[in-house]
Amino acid sequence: MKRVITYGTYDLLHYGHIELLRRAREMGDYLIVALSSDEFNKIKNKKSYYSYDQRKMMLESIRYVDLVIPEDDWGQKTKDVDRYEVDTFVMGHDWEGEFDFLKDQCEVIYLKRTEGISTTQIKKELYGKEK
């Protein structure tokens, strides 16, 4: 079984998120999504509209997602790759090169993001701000 993992906040879930999850799932048999916890978001100076539990429930309802785990700190990725026997680590291309240190443990792929949509864009248009 080929296991894939990706990370994110997944706030204001939109079709760009779904497309990323679909493409990530196509790379393996089992997709793990590490979801930023509310506490980790505070460390990153981010505020989600939905709570961790609400975001987790939405992700779990998506057919491409097999398991949702909490992301609590920047350093847990190497542990997660080992713990869940991950074969492929997937992130959006805006993180290009940031996770190359994982290449000793698994394949690292940066996917081009879906054009024309982002949570930042939605928040700007709705609220006039990025956070």
On the 0-12 / 13-18 / 19+ scale of CB atoms within 10 A, 25 is buried
Number of separate domains in the chain: 1
Q: Give the residue numbers spanning the domain of 21.
A: 3-127
Question: Quick check: pTM over 0.75?
Answer: yes
Q: What is the mean pLDDT of residues 104-129?
A: 76
CATH number, position 44: 3.40.50.620
pLDDT at residue 33 tops 80: yes
| pLDDT for residue 13 | 85
Reduced to 3 states (helix: H, G, I; strand: E, B; else coil), residue 69 is strand
Residues 45-82: tens digit of each pLDDT: 988 889 999 999 999 999 999 999 999 999 999 999 99
Residue 31 DSSP SS3: strand
| pLDDT exceeds 70 at position 120 | no
> If residue 68 lies in a helix (H) or strand (E), which one and from where to where?
strand 67-71
**109: which strand partners?**
90
Read off the pLDDT of each residue in 16-41 and give the average, rounded to a whole number.
96
Active site residues: 44, 46
pLDDT of residue 16: 84
